[in-house]
Chain A
Amino acid sequence: MKRIAVLIAGLAAASPGNSQELKIGFLAPMTGIFAQIGKDMENGFQMYIDEQKGNFAGAKVTFIVEDEEGKPPVGVRKAEKLARQDNVHLLVGGLLASTGYAIAPVSNRVKTVYVLSIAAADDLTQRDLKQYPYIVRTSWTSSQPHHPLGKWACENGFKTVSAIAADYAFGHEVLGGFQKTFEDCGGKVIQKIWPPLGTKDFGPYIPTIKRDADAIFSLMVGPMALQFPKQLQEAGIKKPVIGGGTSYDEFVLPSMGDEVLGHVSALQYSAAIDTPKNREFVRKYREKYGKVPSYYSESNYTTAQMIHEVMKQTKGKWPGPEKFIQMITQLKLDTPRGPVRFDDMRNPIQNIYIKKVEKKKLHGFDKDELWNTVIHTYPEVSQFFTYKKEEFLKQPVYSRDFPPCKHCN
């Protein structure tokens, strides 16, 4: 009997079911062109851990960061390493949609929770969700903020829009979301221009923008976001610009100039959200890391917070992957981005902020800087917006050709 007891005790100790420890495996690009974004992601998560002094309701947190290099196969290998060699309780992170798609099946193979804290690919929590019982998303879908943006644009007097968006899945889904609500409300997208991802010289594209459009919709990422507004201004185009979530996010905003004043965009986060919780978050982050937090940082900070909340309910004991998913999707939290809860497809329901770039002093900092001032809030926006889930899922995923450009000629 004694032998069996020892054996059982041994097995219990070996499996990651210890009430004392919580091992989190974090995947982000640490080298390559997205290295800085990966750093922002890591810093956001790390800051929350430091605030809790490495202790989530009694569980000691071990935070292991692995470099996925912005390449899906590397993401797969590192995820496998974290799950099988380091025996982490959960995997968090992944930047690109392709990485998200690559790691999701790994979560099935190793039966480990995978929390998508950034990767926005729509279908992971829509048409593909059933295949991946171990994933949960704490960030956003590409089209989520752009549904309300389309409605906002239409209701604020813009009737025709000329769109220019980075030519890859994320760009397609962002524009798709905008176009659907904009046109359902009566607006018309009269042109779609798709510069390749990484375009820096918009010389070929800007002169083709239709002169009679009321506004320009632009989805830019990274270096594209810096160049497009400048070149637009240099070409003398003074039209109003409505942007996708990453076009003016705080990751690029500090490097921008006066050319972006007045530009509008939509996202579930802005560093300019004027709540005490966000103010404190921005101040502490800036003090610790020397820059204003971007949504990459906030999303991971909030993810850490959500994990902590689950651990509070289990009193520091890891509940196992299925129960964890169940518990995290039942959370209702107040976070720097506002109130967040989950829909039944394991994606957040949250505020979407329509924001405008302004130059001013905010949060007690003493210099005039560029901020994304919130000019309108759409509360409780899910990935389906005002559409019924079943109807929405019947249509194909947003792509280059969907919704089709009926008003382009």
Chain B
Amino acid sequence: MKRIWILLSVLALAAAVAPFTGPFVILLLAQILVLGIIAMSVDLLLGYTGLPSLGQAAYLGVGAYLTAILATKLGFGLGWDFWLVVLMGMAAGAATAAFFGLFAIRASGVYFLMITLALGMCVWGLAYRWNSLTGGDNGINMRGRPKFGIELANDLTFFYVVLGLFIASFFALHLLVSSPFGKSLVGIRERELRMRILGYNTWLHKYIAFVIAGGFGGLAGVLWAHLNGIVSPVDVLLPASVDALLMVVLGGPGTLVGGLIGATVVVFLREYLATMVQWWQYVLGAVYVLTILYLPGGIMGLFKGGKA
């Protein structure tokens, strides 16, 4: 519980400070929050269920492309129907995960890693080749952000909307992992065989977690499309999935909050430090390596004390 209060105060602080920072920083903060959502979805799989997924970018892509296609081809989602698109994005992400899960959940450990990688690359291939739908490598350009009483074109307003959705996602996931279902996921992570002997349908548990993660990935995708104003196959490439995994490992798997922390570190290094020095990628790699070596619980592990 203490963690939640800390998280909320940090977010409240960010919300209060945001109007006084530059427009560049506001966009960075929004980016951190959107990536935080997808990092949390990866954490649900990795940290809680023990499934390392290298293909979450696929669900972000599905949500993002859906948003972009609806906006540009049908003019849909630019008013109050933005909220409908949010739901549709989540549904699309979840549906894709439901389909992929049928292939992926049979595997575990590094095999799971490989198969999710391959599935992610299949989505990339589709995005790249289906020119008429996805614009191919040119991508789809969004014309502007939605407007429903408030103008999301105003970066600060958009930031607050993203913040709200992040908090909602966090609470939803927090409720999930604190529930008996969530606890059984941890049980599966620790000792799947024992869970099965106890009568749990572990396949179904893992599958449901996978689908939910896909749903949140889709949500992140909808916001991602509006954040950048363009969706292209680059958003679903392997490095994007690797980034999501990186954020969870850095921040601390199994904490949910860790995803946000990891996102902050990665975004700060990639986008902010990069504008100041040339050697930022060494810092990123070194931080990553050192965290894995010495901080198995990630950055959050520093705060947890006794807990493994």
Report A's interface with B, CB cutoff 8 A.
30-31, 66-67, 70-74, 76-78, 80-81, 84-85, 96-98, 101-102, 104-106, 109, 121, 131, 168-169, 197, 399-400
Asked if A76 and B230 sit within 8 Å, CB to CB, the answer is yes
Mask for B81-94, Cβ within 8 A of A = 1, else 0? 00000000000000
Q: Which of B131, B138, B274 contacts A98 (CB 8 A)?
A: B138
A105–B131 touching, CB < 8 Å: no
B131: contacting residue among A30, A197, A400, CB under 8 A: A400
Contact A72 B24 (CB under 8 A): no
Highest count of chain A CB atoms <10 Å: which of B224, B227, B228: B228
Per the bound structure, the CA–CA distance linking A344 and B23 in Å amounts to 34
Residues of chain A within 8 A (CB-CB) of B141 are: 101-102, 104-105
Inter-chain contacts of A66 with B (CB < 8 A): 275
Q: Which residue of A lies closest to B142 (CB)?
A: A105
Closest chain-A Cβ to B128's Cβ sits at a distance in Å of: 8
Q: Which of B22, B128, B230 interacts with A101 by CB under 8 Å?
A: B230
Q: How far is the CA of A197 from the CA of B274 in the complex (A)?
A: 28
User: Which of B31, B271, B275, B281 has the most CB atoms of chain A within a 10 A radius of its CB?
Assistant: B275
B104-144 CB mask vs A (1 if < 8 Å, else 0) is 00000000000000000000000010010000111101111
Q: Note all chain A residues with C-beta closer than 8 A to B142.
A: 105
Closest chain B CB from A168 CB (angstroms) = 4
Nearest 7 CB-CB pairs, A to B?
Answer: A73-B228, A84-B23, A102-B230, A81-B24, A85-B24, A168-B137, A85-B22
- A-contact 0/1 string along B200-230, CB 8 Å cutoff: 0000000000000000000000001001111
Q: How far is the CA of A30 from the CA of B277 in the complex (A)?
A: 12
9 extra interchain contacts, Cβ-Cβ under 8 A, other than A77-B271, A80-B23?
Answer: A76-B228, A77-B24, A84-B23, A85-B22, A101-B230, A105-B142, A105-B229, A109-B153, A169-B136
Size of chain B's interface in residues, with CB distance under 8 A?
30
Q: Are B230 and A72 in contact (CB under 8 A)?
A: yes
For B22, list chain A residues within 8 Å (CB).
84-85
A30, closest chain B residue (CB):
B278
Given contacts A105-B143, A197-B137, contact A98 B232 (CB under 8 A): yes
- Report whether B136 and A73 are in contact in the complex, using a CB–CB cutoff of 8 Å: no
Asked if B234 lies at the interface with its beta carbon under 8 angstroms from chain A, I say: yes
Q: How far is the CA of A72 from the CA of B235 in the complex (A)?
A: 9
Q: Contacts A101-B230, A102-B229 given; indicate if A77 touches B139 (C-beta within 8 A).
A: no
A169 to B141, CA, bound (A): 15
Main secondary structure of the interface of A (DSSP, over half): helix
Q: Do the beta carbons of B136 and A102 come within 8 Å of each other? A: no
Question: Can you report 24 residue pairs joining A to B where beta carbons are below 8 Å apart?
Answer: A67-B274, A71-B234, A72-B234, A73-B234, A73-B235, A77-B27, A77-B28, A77-B31, A77-B228, A80-B23, A81-B275, A96-B137, A98-B139, A98-B230, A98-B232, A101-B138, A101-B139, A101-B230, A102-B141, A102-B229, A104-B141, A105-B142, A168-B137, A169-B138
Q: How far is the CA of A159 from the CA of B281 in the complex (A)?
A: 52
List residues of chain A with CB within 8 A of the CB of B224: 73
A207 to chain B, nearest CB (A): 23
List, in ascending order, chain A residues with CB within 8 A of B271's CB.
74, 77
Residues of B within 8 A of A73 (CB): 224, 227-228, 230, 232, 234-235
Asked if B137 and A169 make an inter-chain contact with CB atoms under 8 angstroms apart, the answer reads yes
How far is the CB of B23 from the nearest CB of chain A, in Å? 4
CB-CB nearest in chain B for A131: B143
* Nearest neighbor of B21 in chain A, beta-carbon distance: A85
Contacting residues, chain A, for B138 (C-beta < 8 A)? 97-98, 101, 121, 169
Nearest residue (CB) in B for A196 is B128
**A105: chain B residues within 8 A (beta carbon):** 141-144, 229-230
Residues 145-177 (chain B) with a chain A CB within 8 angstroms: 153
Chain A residues within 8 Å of B24, by CB? 77, 80-81, 84-85
- Closest A residue, CB atoms, query B271: A77
In Å, the complex CA distance between A169 and B28 comes to 30
| A28 and B256 alpha carbons, distance in the complex (Å) | 36
- The residue that B229 contacts in the complex, of A70, A71, A76, A81, with Cβ under 8 A, is A76
